[in-house]
Chains A and B, each alone.
Chain A
Amino acid sequence: MSDSVTLTLKETIDGRVVADAIVPDRLATLSATEIAHLPVWLARHTSPPALADATGCDADRAARAQDQHSVELGDLFSVRGERSAVVRVQGNLANVDAIGAAMTAGTLSIDGNAGRELGRGMTGGTIAVHGNVGDDAGLAMAGGAVLVWGSAANRVGGALPGASRGMTGGEIFVRRNVGRDAGASVRRGLIVVGGDAGDGTARSMIAGTVLVMGKVTGTVGLWNKRGTVVALGGATVPATYRYACTYRPPHLRVIFAYLRHAHGVPVDDRYISGRYARYCGDLSEVGKGELLLWTDA
C-alpha cells in the first residue's frame, strides 16, 4: 500500500479514450500491476460521431465499431503506487472521458485538462481538476464534489440522455466559465460558477442551487420548478418570472461562508452583505423557483 497512486500519460493520445476505470475507490483495492491491466476504451476518431443519419439509421456504426477497441490502462499511462484511494493523474487529458465515473469515495486530482463526463454518476469523494474540463462534467452525479480550476464546457451537472433528472446531489465548483445548459434538470445539489455562464443555465431545473458569480448570458431558469439561480453579475429575467422584493437572503450568507471557509473561494463582502432582487418563477411551471440578482442599490 502506498500513499497515493499516480498515473502519468505516456504520450498524446490520437483519438478519444473512455477511462471510467480511473476511479479512486476501485484503485484502492488493486496492486500496481492490476491497475495497469484495467481496461479502457480507445476510439480513433477525434470528434463525436453522428449517432444517426436523416433516416434514423446509424450508418457509421460498423466502421466505428472497428475503430473502437479496448486497451489496458498501462498502455496509455505509467502507474506509480498502489492500493490507495488518493489518485493523481498527470498529463493533458482533454480527450480522456469519464474519469471518476461512479466514484463513491477517495480523492482524484488531475494535473491538466480533462475530457467529457468527468465524475459521471459519482456519489462521493472529491475530484479536483487543475485545468479545463469538457462537456457533461458531473453528469447525473448524486454526491461528492467536483472542483474545476479552469473552465467547463456544456451541460455541467446535467442529465443522462433521456433522463428526467440531472444532478441529484453533491457540489460542483468551476472557478472560471461554463458553457451552455449548466445545471439543466438539476434535482438537488450546488453548482458554483466563478465566471460567466452560457445560454440555457438552469433550464428545466427541478431544485438545487446554481450560483453564477459572473454574468449569465442568454436564457436562464426557463421551466425552473423550485430551483435557485443566483447571478452576481446580472442576467436577463425571463418573461415568465415576476419580481417579488429586494432583500438579503439568509441562506446565501451560509452558502458564501461555506464557499469561503471550506473551499477558499474568494467572495467579496459586498455580495455577502448585499441585497438581492428576488424574482419568482418559472410561472409557466409551479413557480416556486427563484432568480436572485445581486443589486448594489
Chain B
Amino acid sequence: MKTHRINFTLNGEKVSIEVEPSDVLLDTLRGRLGIKSPKVGCDRGDCGTCTVLMNGRTIRSCLALAVEADGADLVTLEGANTRKWTQKLQVKFHEKNSFQCGFCAPGVILSATELLEKNSKPTIHDIKEAVAGNLCRCTGYEPIIEAIAETAKGK
C-alpha cells in the first residue's frame, strides 16, 4: 500500500513518519510513537478517552486519520503536563479525588485545559459542556466539575 510521509509537532518535538492512508491517529500515537495517555475506549468518538489537542483544540484521535496530523501541532497529556492551566487543574484534581480508575483522566484534563485556556471564567454550565464528551463511569462527575470550577476561581 502507498504510504505518506507526514511531519508534525508532537509535544513540542518534530516528528516525521511514514503512514498508511487508513492509519488512525490514535493507533499511530500509541502504537508507533509510544504516547500512551490517550486511550482506546470506543473507537467511534463517543467516550473521549482518546482526546488530544490539535492546534490548541481538542479532537478525538480515534476519529482522525494520521495523515490529518500533517503540519499540525499535537499535544497529548504527556506534553500538556508543563502547561499552566493543566498543572493547576492537576493539583485540584488530586486534591478533590476527581478521578477513580483514572482511565478517563487524561482526556478530561485536556478538555478542561482547552476550556480554561480560552475562557478562564467559565460558568458551571460551560464546564459541564466542556467535559460532556468525556465519559467517566466512576466519579459521577461532581468532583471533576468542582475541581475545574475551583481551578478557574484560583481557589
Is chain B found bound to chain A in the same assembly? no
Interface residues, chain A, with chain B CB atoms under 8 Å away: none
